[in-house]
């Protein structure tokens, strides 16, 4: 296979470059959106002004507009009540000019995250995270389903680099409803035997070393080290984590605090051991933005067909 050939030729891990993959796949998405004959609109609802969230929103807006979608951003004050937030989402549900809605996470801890997400109409759930979307997905095993953007991103990144899936074993580290669980489900849907590991799993490293694919979604910087992998086994390491850390850089003999982002996998330690690895940043992250707008295109097309059937 492609990734194995690259590994043998280069004697180093193939980098699963999400930026390169997104650039290629974005052309197909542009055509899909153009076919709709209208611009699908995504509305992003944000509470407060956390700098990282605002940066992610800018990235989504830029990419969405580049593929032909419209992106609107509603920022509510940090003090907004849960009732006011849900009322705003309900207004968007009724707005026929809005085809997709996402709630930008994280929310302030005082707000009920799942209750807020569930306020989004399943027909406009671009993130695929509402309880109804999860139930529909599980009921449609093997059929068409709307997957959360991160899970879809992991699958599409592996497919882009022609990583074989059917009959393989995978370990997913982390079982969150937002990331770990849907990643495990989408891999299972594609013929992978998946073991989900969490803080109570006793033999996690044995499981990961025996797996063809290891997906890290634990939310801890560089938590997954070399001891999670078997040297020479040509494993695939997929890093879903994005962690902000502080470090110091020298400038004019002064140490200036800086901020950088790292994944859940210790890239420098693991890369020499595996066949392929996704970097952070630049791996799953760019693909997640792509997957979000693929979801938007899918639900916009479905709403268009539903509208035609009502005529």
Active-site positions read 60, 104, 127
CA atoms of 120 and 58, how far apart (whole Å): 21
Parallel, antiparallel or unpaired: strands 169-173 and 193-197: parallel
Please give the span between the terminal C-alpha atoms of the chain, in angstroms, as a whole number. 49
Task: Judge contact between 222 and 262, C-beta under 8 A.
Answer: yes
Task: Judge contact between 282 and 18, C-beta under 8 A.
Answer: yes
Task: Judge contact between 6 and 269, C-beta under 8 A.
Answer: no
CA atoms of 291 and 303, how far apart (whole Å): 18
Phi, psi of 229 (to 5 degrees): -125, 155
DSSP E strands: which ranges in the chain?
A: 14-15, 41-47, 70-76, 100-103, 169-173, 193-197, 213-216, 236-239, 243-251, 254-262, 276-277
Parallel, antiparallel or unpaired: strands 213-216 and 169-173: parallel
């Amino acid at each position: 296979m492609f990734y194995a050939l690259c590994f043998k030729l280069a004697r180093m891990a193939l980098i699963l470059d999400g930026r390169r993959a997104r650039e290629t796949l974005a052309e197909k998405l542009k055509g899909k959106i153009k076919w709709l004959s209208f611009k699908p609109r995504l509305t992003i609802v944000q509470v407060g002004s956390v700098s990282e969230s605002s940066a992610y929103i800018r990235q989504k807006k830029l990419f969405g507009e580049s593929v032909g979608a419209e992106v609107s951003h509603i920022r509510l004050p940090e003090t907004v009540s849960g009732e006011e937030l849900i009322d705003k989402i309900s207004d968007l549900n009724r707005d026929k000019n809005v085809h997709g809605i996402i709630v930008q996470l994280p929310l302030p801890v005082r707000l009920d995250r799942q209750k807020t997400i569930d306020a989004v109409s399943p027909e406009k759930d671009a993130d695929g995270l509402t309880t109804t979307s999860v139930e529909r997905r599980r009921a449609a095993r093997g059929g068409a389903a709307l997957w959360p953007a991160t899970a879809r991103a992991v699958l599409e990144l592996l497919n882009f680099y022609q990583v074989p899936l059917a009959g393989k074993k995978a370990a997913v580290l982390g079982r969150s409803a937002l990331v770990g669980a849907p990643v495990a489900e989408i891999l299972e849907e594609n013929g992978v035997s998946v073991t989900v590991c969490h803080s109570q799993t006793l033999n996690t490293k044995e499981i990961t070393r025996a797996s063809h694919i290891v997906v890290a979604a634990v939310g801890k910087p560089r938590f997954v080290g070399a001891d999670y992998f078997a040297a020479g086994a040509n494993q695939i390491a997929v890093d879903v984590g994005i962690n902000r850390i502080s470090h110091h850089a020298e400038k004019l003999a002064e140490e200036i605090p800086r901020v950088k982002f790292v994944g859940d996998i210790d890239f420098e330690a693991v890369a020499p051991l595996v066949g392929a690895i996704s970097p952070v940043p630049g791996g799953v992250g760019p693909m997640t933005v792509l997957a979000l707008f693929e979801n938007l295109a899918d639900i916009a097309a479905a709403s268009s067909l539903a509208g035609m059937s009502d005529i």
